[in-house]
């Protein structure tokens, strides 16, 4: 009987720990599975003046119709008691005017720091479901200008493949990769951590 009670107590403790470990920010508690949907009311744009922070990376001089855009980079917040900084990467083929989260391909989420460390989670779109599924997690030092994606994480490979596909779409791979490696080209578009007092952002170079 004592053994049975002990097993029940252990099961209760394990269940309690698993529930406690579930990450909840704002009105969402499935960060370990997927991102909130594009129409979740807690999504808010990072504003640059009055404009939403979405900007194209062109190859060569910018064109009026955006036909030479390599990628689009979008910065948003997810609001709760604390704000979470999120960066989305979309193909340059997407329309800036009609953009929403479901149009992106990859996302990085920076959770509020604890004990001098910040948790970063990577997500990628499941096109059939139009849902961003969790892919990988790592930690970085909570220090200004810290590179958000360290060299050793798997996301680097996924991001490089994404960037190469965009350059292939523009038929510029032979010219470009004869001068720099695919990794060197891709890493320049990954974000750094920017700290402003008690606030923070993850921002990619423009």
| Any domain includes 3 | no
Neighbours of 171 (CB within 10 A): 8
| Any domain includes 52 | yes
| Any domain includes 6 | no
Please report where in the chains the tokens 């009026």 appear, as a residue: 64
| Any domain includes 197 | yes
| Any domain includes 111 | yes
| Any domain includes 12 | no
The boundaries of the domain holding residue 114 are 26-203
pLDDT band at 48 (very low <50, low <70, confident <90, very high): confident
| Any domain includes 61 | yes
Q: What is the pTM of this model?
A: 0.86
Q: What share of the chain is helix, strand, coil (3-state, %, to 5)?
A: 25, 35, 40
| Any domain includes 10 | no
Average pLDDT (123-128) is 89
pLDDT at 43 over 90: yes
| Domains of the chain: total | 1
């Amino acid at each position: 009987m004592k053994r049975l009670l002990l097993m029940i107590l252990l099961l209760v403790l394990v269940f309690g720990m698993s529930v406690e470990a579930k990450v909840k920010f704002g009105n969402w508690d499935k960060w370990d599975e997927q991102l909130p949907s594009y129409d979740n009311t807690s999504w808010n744009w990072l504003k640059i003046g009055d404009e939403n922070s979405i900007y194209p990376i062109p190859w060569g001089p910018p064109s009026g119709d955006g036909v030479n855009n390599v990628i689009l980079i979008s910065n948003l917040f997810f609001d709760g008691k604390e704000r979470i900084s999120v960066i989305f990467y979309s193909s340059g083929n997407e329309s800036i005017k009609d953009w929403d989260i479901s149009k992106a391909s990859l996302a990085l989420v920076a959770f509020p720091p604890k004990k001098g460390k910040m948790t970063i989670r990577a997500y990628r779109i499941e096109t059939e479901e139009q849902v961003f599924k969790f892919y990988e997690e790592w930690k970085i030092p909570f220090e200004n200008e810290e590179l958000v994606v360290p060299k050793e994480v798997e996301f680097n490979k996924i991001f490089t493949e994404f960037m190469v596909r965009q350059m292939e779409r523009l038929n510029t791979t032979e010219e470009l990769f004869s001068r720099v490696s695919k990794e060197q080209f891709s890493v320049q578009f990954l974000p750094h951590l920017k700290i402003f007092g008690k606030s923070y952002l993850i921002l990619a170079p423009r």
